[in-house]
Chains A and B, each alone.
Chain A
Amino acid sequence: MSYTIEGASGPWEVVVGLEVHAQVLSKSKLFSGAATAFGAAPNSQVSFVDAGFPGMLPVINGECVAQAVRTGLGLNAKINLWSRFDRKNYFYADLPQGYQISQYKDPIVGEGVIEIELTDGSTKEIGITRLHLEQDAGKSLHDQHPSKSFIDLNRSGVALMEIVSEPDMRSPEEAGAYLSKLRQILRYLGTCDGNMDEGSMRADVNVSVRKAGEDFRTRCEIKNVNSVRFVMQAVEAEARRQVELWESGGTVDQETRLFDTGRGTTRSMRSKEDAHDYRYFPDPDLPPLVLEQSWVDELKAGLPELPDARRARYVAMGLSPYDAHVLTIERETAAFFEIVAKGRDAKVAANWVTGDYFAALNRLKRDVSDSPVSAENLGALLDLIADGTLSGKLAKEVFDAMLEADEPPAAIVEKRGLRQVTDTGAIEAVVDGVLAANADKIAQYKAGKTGLFGFFVGQTMKAMGGKGNPAIVNDLLKQKLDG
């Protein structure tokens, strides 16, 4: 069932396209050597180029170009071996040059496609129109002084990739899934850290609505939405607004809007008439950017395994599609899992990682990059289960101890004497004791109340301090009760 908004006149289809600005992961800026670290003191990472001083000239940062190409390859997109930088001219206090260097007509990356997964298990391809490189502007701070604005140029000149999608999404869910998938791919590639709360990724969301079978109607652009959840909310709120407008006999004007996260509504920022004339023209300070195919090929050969490929490999290893999906959402999680699973039963490893381990992370409010237990130690715990040293129950006890101090599980087993008892003679002695003390229960059992079997197991384990090998305990009880 496809997503629609029910209006008075019937169902409306929603059309969404995203322009995502992703900060390139690089040590220095797109056209200067200044650093890019987040959270530095204001104006401490600014070169004379970034501040637009007289006579300063931009020089392209090769690493940023490589990152854009890697991203383009990760988006299955065409790499343009000839591209060019243009100037986008406008005045603002945090735009020191009076223009932003961007790529207008000839972007470095052309058409591509990525696949998104939806909650019903289906997948959908979303087209990428283009990716281009551009400079970020600085930041204006209006709340530091009653009558002055402060300017922080640390971000000025930082490299951004603007990734433009086709208007291929048809629901808030698809828009959210697209942004999540894009973020996942960039993080796998290591071309953007994807930290949306630090502004490393933000989306301009284009929304329109239409009746089934119609051409596109006028769209509105919602600027600078900075989380997956807000993108989904903004799409829905804007689509509903447009449906109401059309149905009340009005028309949607092409304009730029803002999403008010508090109210959950969008409001007008500027209309098309107020739109700047950016006077784009090729930047005469920069020759065209010409890439060698062999260099692109080298970058391609060096790409890491991407989430789709990794997920498919996990399924082939015997994991459920769900576990494969969960384990590949974050590159760090997948890396953790692979260490745990190395040389071991992949399914068992997946069960532990997605089960007890994830539960522990949630409980402790930690994440994989800040893991309380090393993947190596978790793997060693699995070995102790496999070789019979620990029962499942004991293993959980050892795991809890590992959460407190990340030590090798064998050391914890020794220290706490948690080794499982597999000596049949010793277990039999305990079983005999339990049976002797519960003659009445034996009678009831034999009379058909077989559910009491668990009682005998529990009594035996209790008497053994939980260390009896469950299989042996079961076998012996079965022999003695049923035999």
Chain B
Amino acid sequence: MRPTDYTIAEGLRALDKREISSVELTQAYVEAIETHNPRLNAYITVTAQQALEEARASDARRAEGKSGALEGIPLGIKDLFCTAGTRTTAASRILGEFVPPYESSVSGNLRRDGAVFLGKLNLDEFAMGSANTTSAFGPVENPWSRANDPAKRLVPGGSSGGSAAAVAARLAMGATATDTGGSIRQPAAFCGVTGIKPTYGRCSRWGVVAFASSLDQAGPIARNVEDCAILLRSMSGFDPKDSTSADLPVPDFAAACGRSVKGLRIGVPAEYTMPGLAPEIDALWQQGLAWLKDAGAEIVPISLPHTKYALPTYYVVAPAEASSNLARYDGVRFGTRTAERDSDLRDLYERTRAAGFGAEVRRRIMIGTYVLSAGYYDAYYLKAQKVRALIARDFAEAWDKVDAIVTPATPSSAFPMDERQDDPVTMYLNDVFTVTANLAGLPGLAVPAGLDAQGLPLGLQVIGKAFDEETVFAVGAALERAANFTATPQVRA
């Protein structure tokens, strides 16, 4: 078995039995990154030397019998998480060479549990995008390619495109990611890996560069459901530094992966059968439901009547919050400053922000500024908040009838890098199945369930009740077992 073949669960067992050391594991990933990252561009910053030192320290801790829950496991960190002493970019020029003097709570939790950090993973600029094409550090390439057109470079999805591509190509055992409208689940589905956006409040947002505060939630991307469960347990937990963090105990998510789905009621929302939904996606969805039924679950048709308003609601709320959250990038205290000598303050702002932000970020700042403006606030922002409450109510009513909901993760498989770049609205449609969970604050997991006609992975999504990730993991693991998804991408270590 090659070191990069281990899942996290397997790796932890092998480390425990001294079949491999963290240094050996880490060295294998460092080499894999050297080989494949120049093409995939999944990492913005690789911290190979630091990772090997951390691995040595980890092996020493293990030798002393002081192993944490992720002792010695090499991970990639989305470059939206501030990492003390390591440059953090949010894939934007505006942060320049910003090196945080502090560690985000989530990455700090992973360090506490013994994880080794390989580097900082690429993403859409400020996590705004669905194709990882808005990064100031260049696009990420999907390690998968079409059977009939292997030269066509495909997007990995976004915004956590670097995380999903790195995990799929085995440039990391697992990765942190964030999800504001689908940024974990959509790239996971596009890259044939597993990702979960937990319940809003499960993971601390402290030290994560903010996009839209009421929607942002960190979560893991990993090779399978169990690995996601192991990572999420370490990442989660109450953090008094985040006022929206939930003060609840963190369950043993990995244990929940083995739970039977027998007797569980699985909801199938009528509104997710959308016009133009690709037949093979619909077929995969039906297949997934059939697997669950075979495993003893009950399939229950439900209605989430406000679903069609979710995307427009999201594209009012998220830019509104972003326009305010990104006001701090002004060239005054940190990051890039672009201004003529002796220019005035307004000039400093205008030049810095025009040069520092990419087109998509500028678009969303403008949309957000518009919807919050006097005279438009009621028609846009306030109305969006009301619709958001109705979407949350749809789910609340559904939970009377079902224990989890299963839908497709994305409306298509990964598309070529040169497509859909001109029309932002078409790009936004990528999030159509995923935004509802963000608007309602619910956990959502994407698990690979099959391949399309071109040999590209397709994923299913499991949505659960707030703080009931355990059921989500149980259903996800059942789908995973039935799907037996063993395909691997063309580019991989």
CA distance A281 to B286 in the complex (A): 42
CA distance A147 to B342 in the complex (A): 6
Interface size of A in residues (CB-CB distance below 8 Å): 31
Please give me the residue from chain A that is nearest to B104 by CB atom: A55
**A29–chain B nearest beta-carbon distance, Å:** 14
CA distance A56 to B481 in the complex (A): 40
Are B328 and A57 closer than 8 Å at their CB atoms? no
Are B372 and A281 closer than 8 Å at their CB atoms? yes
Are A96 and B333 closer than 8 Å at their CB atoms? yes
Chain B neighbourhood of A277, CB < 8 A: 373-374
Which residues in window 264-289 of A have CB below 8 A to B? 277, 279-281, 284-287
Interface residue? B209 (CB, 8 A): yes
Interface residue? A51 (CB, 8 A): yes
Chain B neighbourhood of A149, CB < 8 A: 345
**B375–chain A nearest beta-carbon distance, Å:** 9
Chain B neighbourhood of A59, CB < 8 A: 240-243
Chain A neighbourhood of B212, CB < 8 A: 284
Which residues in window 171-218 of B have CB below 8 A to A? 205-210, 212-214
Interface residue? A48 (CB, 8 A): yes
Interface residue? B309 (CB, 8 A): no
Chain A neighbourhood of B241, CB < 8 A: 57, 59
Interface residue? A237 (CB, 8 A): no
Over the window 85-102 of chain B, the binary record of Cβ atoms lying under 8 Å from chain A Cβ atoms (1 yes, 0 no) is 000101000010010111
Are B333 and A51 closer than 8 Å at their CB atoms? yes
Stretch at the interface among B50-58, B138-146, B276-284, B319-327: B319-327
Please give me the residue from chain A that is nearest to B215 by CB atom: A284
Interface residue? B392 (CB, 8 A): no
Please give me the residue from chain B that is nearest to A49 by CB atom: B241
Given contacts A59-B241, A284-B213, A285-B244, contact A52 B372 (CB under 8 A): no
Please give me the residue from chain B that is nearest to A53 by CB atom: B334
Which residues in window 26-74 of A have CB below 8 A to B? 48, 51-60
Are A52 and B333 closer than 8 Å at their CB atoms? yes
Interface residue? A97 (CB, 8 A): yes
Are A93 and B345 closer than 8 Å at their CB atoms? yes
Are B102 and A48 closer than 8 Å at their CB atoms? yes
Are B243 and A285 closer than 8 Å at their CB atoms? yes
**Partner pick for A99 among B82, B240, B327, B381, CB 8 A cutoff:** B327
CA distance A285 to B90 in the complex (A): 19
Given contacts A48-B102, A281-B320, contact A91 B243 (CB under 8 A): no
Are B206 and A57 closer than 8 Å at their CB atoms? yes
Which residues in window 99-122 of B have CB below 8 A to A? 100-102, 104
Which residues in window 56-102 of B have CB below 8 A to A? 81-82, 88, 90, 95, 98, 100-102
Chain B neighbourhood of A60, CB < 8 A: 243
**Partner pick for B377 among A96, A98, A99, A281, CB 8 A cutoff:** A281
Interface residue? A130 (CB, 8 A): no
Which residues in window 238-253 of B have CB below 8 A to A? 240-244
Please give me the residue from chain B that is nearest to A99 by CB atom: B324
Interface residue? B369 (CB, 8 A): yes
**Partner pick for A96 among B207, B213, B332, CB 8 A cutoff:** B332
**B381–chain A nearest beta-carbon distance, Å:** 6
CA distance A98 to B321 in the complex (A): 12
Are A52 and B324 closer than 8 Å at their CB atoms? no
Are A91 and B334 closer than 8 Å at their CB atoms? no
CA distance A279 to B240 in the complex (A): 28
Interface residue? A89 (CB, 8 A): yes
Please give me the residue from chain B that is nearest to A285 by CB atom: B213
Give the interface SS of chain A, mostly helix, strand, loop or mixed: loop
Over the window 326-340 of chain B, the binary record of Cβ atoms lying under 8 Å from chain A Cβ atoms (1 yes, 0 no) is 111010111000000
Chain B neighbourhood of A147, CB < 8 A: 342
CA distance A250 to B169 in the complex (A): 75
Interface residue? A210 (CB, 8 A): no
Chain A neighbourhood of B101, CB < 8 A: 48
Interface residue? B399 (CB, 8 A): no
Chain A neighbourhood of B213, CB < 8 A: 284-285
**Partner pick for B243 among A51, A55, A58, A96, CB 8 A cutoff:** A58
CA distance A58 to B206 in the complex (A): 10
**Partner pick for A57 among B90, B242, B321, B333, CB 8 A cutoff:** B242
Are A97 and B372 closer than 8 Å at their CB atoms? no
Are A91 and B349 closer than 8 Å at their CB atoms? yes
Interface residue? A87 (CB, 8 A): yes
Over the window 427-466 of chain B, the binary record of Cβ atoms lying under 8 Å from chain A Cβ atoms (1 yes, 0 no) is 0000000000000000000000000000000000000000
Interface residue? A151 (CB, 8 A): yes
Chain B neighbourhood of A287, CB < 8 A: 243-244
**Partner pick for A54 among B90, B240, B243, B342, CB 8 A cutoff:** B90
Please give me the residue from chain A that is nearest to B90 by CB atom: A54
Given contacts A151-B332, A277-B373, A281-B372, contact A55 B240 (CB under 8 A): no
Given contacts A281-B377, A284-B214, contact A54 B327 (CB under 8 A): no
**A138–chain B nearest beta-carbon distance, Å:** 10
Please give me the residue from chain A that is nearest to B346 by CB atom: A91
Are A98 and B327 closer than 8 Å at their CB atoms? yes
**A102–chain B nearest beta-carbon distance, Å:** 13
CA distance A473 to B435 in the complex (A): 100
Given contacts A55-B104, A87-B324, contact A281 B381 (CB under 8 A): yes
Are B320 and A91 closer than 8 Å at their CB atoms? no
**Partner pick for A279 among B210, B330, B369, CB 8 A cutoff:** B369
CA distance A149 to B348 in the complex (A): 12
Chain A neighbourhood of B102, CB < 8 A: 48, 53, 55
Are A91 and B330 closer than 8 Å at their CB atoms? yes
**B131–chain A nearest beta-carbon distance, Å:** 24
Chain B neighbourhood of A93, CB < 8 A: 330, 332, 345
CA distance A326 to B213 in the complex (A): 53
Query: Looking at A55, A281, A286, which has the most chain B CB atoms within 10 Å of its CB?
Result: A55
Which residues in window 370-413 of B have CB below 8 A to A? 372-374, 377, 381
Given contacts A281-B324, A281-B381, A285-B244, contact A54 B372 (CB under 8 A): no
Chain A neighbourhood of B90, CB < 8 A: 54
Which residues in window 297-313 of A have CB below 8 A to B? none
Chain A neighbourhood of B244, CB < 8 A: 284-287
Which residues in window 75-105 of A have CB below 8 A to B? 87, 89, 91-93, 96-99
CA distance A483 to B180 in the complex (A): 107
**A47–chain B nearest beta-carbon distance, Å:** 10
Please give me the residue from chain A that is nearest to B332 by CB atom: A93
CA distance A462 to B207 in the complex (A): 83
Given contacts A147-B342, A279-B373, A281-B377, contact A55 B208 (CB under 8 A): yes
Query: Looking at A59, A89, A284, which has the most chain B CB atoms within 10 Å of its CB?
Result: A284
Chain B neighbourhood of A279, CB < 8 A: 323-324, 369, 372-374, 377
Chain A neighbourhood of B207, CB < 8 A: 55-56
**Partner pick for A97 among B104, B208, B327, B381, CB 8 A cutoff:** B327
Query: Looking at A51, A54, A59, A281, which has the most chain B CB atoms within 10 Å of its CB?
Result: A54
**Partner pick for A286 among B243, B330, B381, CB 8 A cutoff:** B243
**B237–chain A nearest beta-carbon distance, Å:** 15
List 14 interface pairs A-B (beta carbons < 8 Å), by A numbering. Answer: A48-B102, A52-B333, A53-B328, A54-B95, A54-B209, A56-B206, A87-B324, A91-B330, A92-B345, A98-B328, A149-B345, A280-B377, A281-B324, A287-B244
For the complex of A and B, the 5 pairs showing the least CB-CB separation, nearest first, are A98-B327, A284-B214, A279-B372, A284-B213, A52-B328
Residues of B within 8 A of A (CB): 81-82, 88, 90, 95, 98, 100-102, 104, 205-210, 212-214, 240-244, 320-321, 323-324, 326-328, 330, 332-334, 342, 345, 349, 369, 372-374, 377, 381
A-B contacts besides A91-B330, A93-B332, 17 pairs, CB < 8 Å: A54-B88, A55-B104, A59-B240, A59-B243, A87-B324, A91-B327, A96-B328, A98-B330, A149-B345, A151-B332, A279-B372, A281-B377, A285-B210, A285-B213, A285-B243, A285-B244, A286-B243
